[in-house]
Amino acid sequence: MHLENAPEPAVTDRAAFEARLAELRVQEKAHTRAGDRLAAARRRLPVVEVDARTPVTGPDGPVPLIDTFEGRSQLITYYFMWHPGHPAAEQCEGCTWNNTQVDELSYVHSRDITYAVFCQGPYEESKRYHEFMGWKMPWYSAQPSLDTLLEGRRIGSMHVVCYLQRDGRVYETYWTTSRGVEAVDINYRLMDLTVYGRQEPWEDSPEGWPQTHGPTPETPDVHPFRSDGRPIAHWSRIRAGRSDDLTT
């Protein structure tokens, strides 16, 4: 959507602009420091042991959970929602949105952390989706072990789960779901810096601001992560000639 006809914010001079921005900076710094305190609290959480032998399926077949660390001491896993037997266009647009932003992993590797996707669907079918998207992160199917790995949580929802391994044993250290998985998302962080924001109906924006990227009572089928019936990132892959056939 082009924004040429969107309402314009109030125009002021440089001094007034900087004064209002200085007021906002106080709130931004408080928000940053609150985030630091939350991160500090996460580092002080107790952990719970998970069977290190829990199987997941990768390119070489079933492997134990501890092997997915790739020799590192920490593991971040994204539990990717999956609709078995459905075509690529009907797979999870939110999980696609998030993981399309995961590219360069050397930075997390430098902190002794592995990032991997644990798909909640079958390996062969979902691996073809991974290839269609052109993703490079490690990809596994956790489908046979979801009752163990997501114990007490809603299977089928997106989750980010963190683990630690020590002396052959694996511990779960943190997990989040719903908007918590925005930790993977840089695009929303960038949009939040702009004058029109995410342009989604739930946002608190001035009257008349564009908010067309999301469902409303009048447009219940509009989704912020889809365009013309597909996850947004699909279209560049289709134009590049990649096949999204998940059945062959």
Q: Which two tokens stand for residue 248?
A: 């062959």
Q: Is residue 248 part of a domain?
A: no
**pLDDT confidence of residue 43:** 97
d(CA 206, CA 213) in angstroms, rounded, equals 16
How many residues make up the chain in this entry?
248
User: For residue range 178-229, what is the model confidence (pLDDT) as tens digits?
Assistant: 999 999 999 999 999 999 999 999 999 999 999 999 988 888 889 999 999 9
Is 40 among the domain residues? Answer: no
* pLDDT given for residue 65 in this prediction: 98
Angle at 144 between CA 140 and CA 147, to 5 degrees: 110
Which residues form the domain of 167? 48-183
179 in a structural domain: yes
Give the per-residue pLDDT at 4: 81
Does residue 193 form part of some domain? no
* Count of the separate structural domains present in the chain: 1
pLDDT of 2 reads: 76
In a domain, 110, yes or no: yes
CATH code at position 78: 3.40.30.10
pLDDT at residue 3, rounded to an integer: 86
In a domain, 43, yes or no: no
In a domain, 207, yes or no: no
pLDDT of residue 100: 96
> Which pTM does this prediction carry?
0.94
Low-confidence ranges of the chain (pLDDT < 50): none
- Whether residue 1 is contained in a domain is answered as no
Please tell me the predicted confidence (pLDDT) of residue 1.
Answer: 58
The identity of residue 145, as a single letter, is S
CA angle 123, 129, 131 (to 5 degrees): 100
